[in-house]
A and B are shown apart, each in its own frame.
Chain A
Amino acid sequence: MVWGPIILTFKLALIVTFLLLLISIPLAYWLAFSRTRVKPVFETLVSMPLVLPPTVIGFYLLIAFSPAYPLGNFLNEVLGLQMVFTFEGLVMASVIYSLPFMVHPIQAGFRNLPASLTEASYVLGKSKTTTLFKVLLPNIKPSLLTGIVLAFAHTIGEFGVVLMIGGSIPNETKVASIAIYEEVEALNYGQANYYSLFLFIVTFVILLMVYLVNGGYLRRIWK
């Protein structure tokens, strides 16, 4: 078994999860507490990757990132970012693709907290930021963990988007799911099985961890 695709997959998942965490906390906070009328539009946009075929997302991102079009041209000329068939492009596409898996649990976590916790903090003279970091986030740890793990696992499992935007360049965009596809095409079932089994076990362990922690079995350790 060649380890390149596996290592690349986990590198991608780690970076994507980290970026998603940074983006999703403010976004989920806004979605949970804002009362603006345009909110449903943003909620829909965030949820789109859940139902849209990954190839559709991949296709539009491919177009958008292409230097022949304004966004791709801007990224290329101004920031020097080449997004098509590169690792950076893969990260960008994966962030969009896995966004709902991080945002939804965090948003639900915020919403399920009693409003009186926030109000109590305000009455005690604390700002919104202090309230977020000292009161809200520490009390939605299970939701944060769920978001982190789901986003991580989902990024590991993606195929369509990666294929469209990244192609299959070894050590650059050839992640495990692509490698499996290629091995099968080449009738190397043994190799495909190694990759598949590895991903199967890893995702099983990751998801099991979430259910153990959020089901309260490991509560004492996590708290």
Chain B
Amino acid sequence: MIRFSLHKKLKASTGDMQLDVECHIDQGKLVTLFGESGAGKTSILRMLAGLLMPEKGTIEVNNSVWLDTQKGINLKPQQRKTGYVFQDYALFPNMTVKENLEYALDKNQDIGIVKELIEIIELTDLQDRKPETLSGGQKQRIALARALVRQPQILMLDEPLSALDRAMRTKLQDYILHVHRKYNLTTILVSHEMSEIFKLSDEILVLENGTITRQGTPMDIFTNRHISGKFQFTGEILHIEKEDIIYIISVLIGNNLVKVVADQSEVQQFSIGEKVLVASKAFNPMIEKINH
């Protein structure tokens, strides 16, 4: 279990912001930090990893204290046993894929874990290549695997998939879920991609103006309980088009483009790029098997 309370004044692009967060995360959960950019998500991860020092705070992980500013306890990043996947991957360009993973080994640690992780991320064929020759998705997988070598108590992923295209993202989400379950990790993910959050997280922490305003399951947080629709999907508005007296709104749900009819009063509240909930009442939905 992770329990933390962190307080720090952050210098954001919009001016100074006071970060005050208190929270606890159960062992084995995959939790998403959700919030606008500049809300302090990355700062929280950095403080947990020991890369950023809060002015005041405590961090307790599985009954050991990592930070207690009042008692003057502050473990160095080296002593904290965290796995951190950086936004820019931070792979060492001078080492091959395998060497990147081996570098992470602790003294006297069994080298077998490296082979196992390379197999999990399916990069056995490319293990002797340098990172610069690989694609974004492959680099991401290496960064993920490298973060797991030391068998961390917390795995932290800072917007791991934002730079990747949709197909690659889906695949990587599967890798993340797979290792999260296999190694019984407690994982903290920074993301603002709805579909990703729904697919991956057990719990969401909503960060607004430096504080956690809501904590709950994705369903609790993102869906409006007043709608009694049987089908609910979240998507992104790609296009709004006027046709005679009605409007056609194109919404991207997963990989599907769905067209929804709306009237003028409804359309006014939407703009392109917004996340929306699409719900429909269906009294007798059809269900069919998909043959692969």
Which residues from chain A sit less than 8 Å from chain B, CB to CB? 114, 116-117, 119-127, 134-135, 138-139
CB nearest neighbor in A for B130 = A223
Give how many A-B residue pairs fall within 8 Å (CB-CB): 59
The answer for the CA separation of A122 and B103 in the assembled complex, in Å, is 11
Contact of B90 among A114, A125, A127 (CB under 8 A): A114
A interface secondary structure, majority: helix
Tell me, yes or no, whether B88 is within 8 Å of chain A by CB.
Answer: yes
Q: Smallest CB–CB gap between A131 and chain B, Å? A: 10
Residues of B in contact (CB 8 Å), total 26
B92-105 vs A, Cβ < 8 Å mask (1 yes, 0 no): 11100000000110
Which residues from chain B sit less than 8 Å from chain A, CB to CB? 49-51, 76-84, 86-88, 90, 92-94, 103-104, 106, 146-147, 149-150
Contact A139 B82 (CB under 8 A): no
The answer for the CA separation of A126 and B92 in the assembled complex, in Å, is 13
Contact of A122 among B78, B93, B147 (CB under 8 A): B78
Further pairs besides A119-B77, A122-B51, A125-B79: 11, Cβ < 8 Å = A119-B90, A120-B92, A122-B76, A123-B49, A123-B147, A124-B103, A125-B104, A127-B78, A134-B103, A135-B94, A139-B94
Contact of B150 among A120, A124, A134 (CB under 8 A): A124
The answer for the CA separation of A123 and B88 in the assembled complex, in Å, is 15
The answer for the CA separation of A116 and B46 in the assembled complex, in Å, is 11
The answer for the CA separation of A139 and B131 in the assembled complex, in Å, is 13
Contact A123 B77 (CB under 8 A): yes
20 pairs of residues in contact across A and B, judged by CB atoms under 8 Å: A116-B90, A117-B90, A117-B92, A119-B84, A119-B90, A120-B84, A120-B92, A120-B146, A122-B50, A122-B51, A122-B77, A123-B49, A123-B50, A123-B147, A124-B146, A124-B150, A125-B81, A125-B106, A134-B92, A135-B92
The answer for the CA separation of A124 and B142 in the assembled complex, in Å, is 14
Q: Smallest CB–CB gap between B236 and chain A, Å? A: 29
The interface centre, meaning the residue of A114, A125, A126, A127 with most chain B CB atoms within 10 A of its CB, is A125
Q: Smallest CB–CB gap between B64 and chain A, Å? A: 16
CB nearest neighbor in A for B81 = A125
